[in-house]
Amino acid sequence: MSLYCYNGNTIRSYIQQIYVDGLKHSSYLSDIEIEEIVSNIGLFKFKGYVRAFKNEMQKHSIDEVFILYFFDKYLTRILMDLTSSVETKLKTVLVELCYKQIKSLPRGHIQKNNPFFYLIQDNYKPKIDRNGNTTTFSLNKGSVLTWKESETPTNEAESYLHYSLYYKNTYHFALNQQRYLQTVATMRLHDDINYPPFHYFIESATLGTVIEIIKHLKIENYDVLQKVAVKFGVSNRNVDFVPYLERLKEVRNRAAHRERIFNRSYRSISRVRHFHKISQGISNHKFVDVYMYLYFMLNKLDNYSSSQEFIQDEIKRLFRSFKKDYWIRRDSKMLTKRINKNDYEKCKRFILRRMR
């Protein structure tokens, strides 16, 4: 192990150093504009994009570093939209499947039409850690804080209350607990939480919480994970749907924290059906596969007969839209508009190689 030494670079000194290391000067931006852009990016994050060219600095310019960064920033926006769409679909499917199941239970069953079924301990498979140890599933305090009891005065200027405020101001868990959960063993509950019906809770839950519930929820012999998988096109029981959910969380987290996107490795999944058919030759750890996966999860991949067609239509559409994007042009000091066709095509080829 090595001792870390802090170099204490300023933006100006670091830019001068990468020029000394061989990176070419800008053909489109002034020194002042360059420093302003790097200041807005943050020096630490900017260094990550410079490192993409570390083995051949003399062949590239600082303009290309900026194009990498701003294209990645644009991808983040697209991924947040796509992952949010998958999350919405996931929540909708989960609620519909579970309510359909509890409605189908026989008359007199404690869980029939019980909107608080998700708090019953027996409805969950145990959690298993990497060492094979098991623990009882429960919802931690952070996952239910939205529903903490509070004295919230009504703001009469609002046309209507947020659904969580409306619920907390209207209903009390003690009454619901007595009505729906009195004769069953519940998971560990927190006294200051006004637990809502399942559909309220899922609507407010984070993606991570929703995924944990899907992985562990089992109503009688009804395995929710398997049923949700079928709704997303993964009907083969030999294919584990959990990596599909974990990849969704991974992509969302990277986008939400503005990490690098285009040239990262991602967790793999077992491709199925049309996704498997058209993705031959594409690395299952790279961005193109992730982008195809998101289209698969949204049932939009069947329109394409090959990965080449998908890349031609969807990936290259990203490059066209990126170059014309108003906000990216503003943030890049109009670099994406100023850059000539040859330089831009060079950037595209570099990015595409690392996305596949």
DSSP for 249-302 reads HHHHHHHHTT---TT---------HHHHHHTTTS-TTSHHHHHHHHHHHTT--T
188 Cβ partners below 8 Å, 6+ apart? 138
**Whether this model's pTM surpasses 0.85:** yes
Distance CA 186, CA 119 (A): 6
Distance CA 203, CA 196 (A): 11
Q: What is the pLDDT along the chain (356 residues), one digit of tens a residue?
A: 777 777 778 999 999 999 999 999 999 999 999 999 999 999 999 999 999 999 899 999 999 999 999 999 999 999 999 999 999 999 999 999 999 999 999 999 999 999 999 999 999 999 888 888 889 999 999 999 999 987 655 555 554 557 888 898 889 999 999 999 999 999 999 999 999 999 999 999 999 999 999 999 999 999 999 999 999 999 999 999 999 999 999 999 999 999 999 999 999 999 999 999 999 888 999 999 999 999 999 999 999 999 999 999 999 999 999 999 999 999 999 999 999 999 999 999 999 999 98
Neighbour count for residue 297 (Cβ, 10 Å): 24
